[in-house]
Amino acid sequence: MATAFAPRVYKNFINGEWVESCGGKGMENRNPANRDELVGTFPASNSGDVSAAVDAARAAFRGWSLTPAPKRAEILFRAAEILVRRKEEFARDMTREMGKVLAETRGDVQEAIDMTYLMAGEGRRMFGHTTPSELPNKTASSVRVPAGVAGLITPWNFPMAIPSWKCMPALVCGNTAVLKPAEDTPLSTFNLTQALDEAGLPAGVLNVVFGDGPDAGAPILKNLQVDLVSFTGSTEIGRIVSEACAPTFKKCHLEMGGKNIIVVMDDANLDLAIDGALWGGFGTTGQRCTAASRVAVQKGVYRHFAEKFIARAKSLKVGDGLDPDTQMGPCINEQQLSTVMKYVQIGIDERAKLATGGHRLEDAAHAKGWFHEPTVFTDCDPQMRICQEEIFGPVVSLIPFDTFDDALSIANNVRYGLSASIYTRNINHALQAQRDLETGIVYVNAPTIGAEVHLPFGGTKNTGNGHRESGTAALDFYSDWKTLYIDFSDRLQRAQID
C-alpha cells in the first residue's frame, strides 16, 4: 500500500505481479515544490520490461475480450469506489509528485473517478447499430469489438485523470493494455493501478512500465504485438509517435499541444472574464494543454481589464500545493522552468511589455522548488512567438483588438486548435464564435479549461489527429466496428445488382 510521506521503492506491474525492472535501474520521483523531498524510487524500465508487459497483455487478450462487457464494467465500478474511498490520500500523493494545489489534485482524482464510473456504465451500453438491409430477408447490423493490445503513453500534468481517460475506455471495450506514465508523476499511476488490481482486474489485462520516453515508451511503439497507441504529450513527441506507428499501421491517437485563447468583448461581464482568465491562465501553473495563454481583449475595455488582471495575477500566492493558502504551485521540473524563463526573455526581446512577474522565485520559501512568478505581458502582437508557441507555464499574453472579426482571426491564426473561449453578452457573437473558432472545444462565458468526462475531448491542427478522448467518442478509438449480415432468403442475393 502507498503510505503517505514514506519514500519507498516501487515496481512495474506485469501480469498481475509487482516486479522489478530487468535492467535493475531506478529513477527518483522528487517533489517539485521541494526537491529535497524524495517521494519514491521507480523502475527506469527498458525494452525487456516492455516486451514482458506486452507479452502479458497479449496472453490476457482473448480471455478479457471474451469476458462480457457488463462484467468488465463491474470491475471498473469497484475500482471507482476504491478511488472515491482513497481520494484524499491519492490527491496528496499527487500534489507531492506534481506540485499543483490540493484543490486541483482532488479534481484530478475526481476526474479519474468520473471517467471510471462513466466507462463502467458504458459496459452495459456499448451500442451498435441495426439497420434495414437493402435486400429482402436479410439483416444488417454492426457491433463494437475489442481492438487488441493498447499502448498508452501519458504526460505528467494530469497524473491520474489522463491515464484513466485511456485505461478505462480501453479496458471496458475489451482490450488489454500496457501503460507507460510520465517519468515525473509515476506515483499517481501506481495508485490508479493499485485500485484496479484491488478491484479484481485479471492478471495481464493492465500492465504498467515506469520509465522515460526513449527507453520505456519507444519500445511500445515498435512492438509488433501492440495494435493501437494512445499518446498525450508534446507535438514534437507526438510526431515521433505517429511516425513510429505508421510502418505497422498501428491505430494511433495523438493528443498534443495547445495555444488557447480567451476573447473578451467590450460587452462582457468583466469581473467574470477576469476570474476566468486567471483560472485559465494560472490554474495548474499554466501547465495544461487547455491553458489560456492568450487573452485577447477588445480595445474599449482593454486598459481596464489589463489593470485589474495584472493586479490579480501579482497577488496570487505561489508555494507548496499542500499549503491551503497556496493558489499556484511550482513548475514540474527544472527543464519546464527553464522553458518558461526562455519564453519570458523571448517576450522581452520581442518588445512585449512585461507587466508583472518574469522571474524565478528564489527566496527562502521557494528556493528548493521550481517556482516561477505569475507573468503577464501586455500590448502583444498576435504574431509574436509568445502568442504563437506553447509555453506550458504561468505566462499570459494580453492582445488588444478592434473588431469581432479581428478577434476570430487572431484566435484562429495559430498552429494549434484545442480550446477557445469568448466572454460576451451578445448572442450573435456567442453563436458565431461557437461556429467559427477552429478548435475542438469552445466555451462561452467560461475559461478554456474545465472539460467534462462525458463529452468528447480533443483538438484540430497540430493538437490532434482526429480522434477524441472521453465520452462515447473514446469508444470509437478503443473498439473496431464489425459489420454483420445474415441472409435468410435461401438464394443468392447480390447487393447493388439485384
In the complex, the residues that contact ligand ADP under the rule CB under 6 A are: 153-156, 180, 182-183, 212-214, 217-218, 221, 233-234, 237, 240-241
CA 406/CA 389 separation, integer angstroms? 20
Shortest CB 221 distance to ligand ADP, Å: 6
Based on the number of CB atoms within 10 Å of its own CB, is 3 exposed (0-12), middle (13-18) or buried (19 or more)?
Answer: exposed
User: For the chain, first and last CA: distance in Å?
Assistant: 66
Shortest CB 177 distance to ligand ADP, Å: 14
Assign residue 148 a region (left: φ > 0; alpha: ψ between -120 and 50; beta: otherwise).
Answer: left
CB 386, CB 343: distance < 8 Å = yes
Query: Whose Cβ is closer to ligand ADP: residue 146's or residue 238's?
Result: 238
Helix (H, G, I), strand (E, B) or coil at 215: helix
Query: Whose Cβ is closer to ligand ADP: residue 230's or residue 479's?
Result: 230
CB 205, CB 60: distance < 8 Å = yes
CB 120, CB 76: distance < 8 Å = yes
Shortest CB 288 distance to ligand ADP, Å: 11
Query: Whose Cβ is closer to ligand ADP: residue 82's or residue 229's?
Result: 229
b/e burial code for range 198-229 (CB count within 10 A of at least 16 → b)? ebebbbbbbbbbbbbbebbbbbbbebebbbbb
Lookup result for grid cell 499543483: 100
Query: Whose Cβ is closer to ligand ADP: residue 150's or residue 153's?
Result: 153
CA 45/CA 217 separation, integer angstroms? 9
Query: Whose Cβ is closer to ligand ADP: residue 193's or residue 298's?
Result: 193
Active-site residue 255, yes or no? yes
Query: Whose Cβ is closer to ligand ADP: residue 237's or residue 296's?
Result: 237
Active-site hit among 167, 289, 380, 387: 289
Shortest CB 120 distance to ligand ADP, Å: 26
DSSP 403-431: SHHHHHHHHHSSSEESEEEEE-S-HHHHH
CB 18, CB 12: distance < 8 Å = yes
- What value does the CA radius of gyration of the chain take, rounded to a whole number of Å? 24
Shortest CB 330 distance to ligand ADP, Å: 15
Shortest CB 465 distance to ligand ADP, Å: 14
Shortest CB 335 distance to ligand ADP, Å: 8
Return the DSSP state at 292: E
Active-site residue 289, yes or no? yes
Helix (H, G, I), strand (E, B) or coil at 270: helix
Active-site hit among 255, 373, 390, 469: 255
Query: Whose Cβ is closer to ligand ADP: residue 217's or residue 374's?
Result: 217
**Catalytic residue annotation:** 255, 289
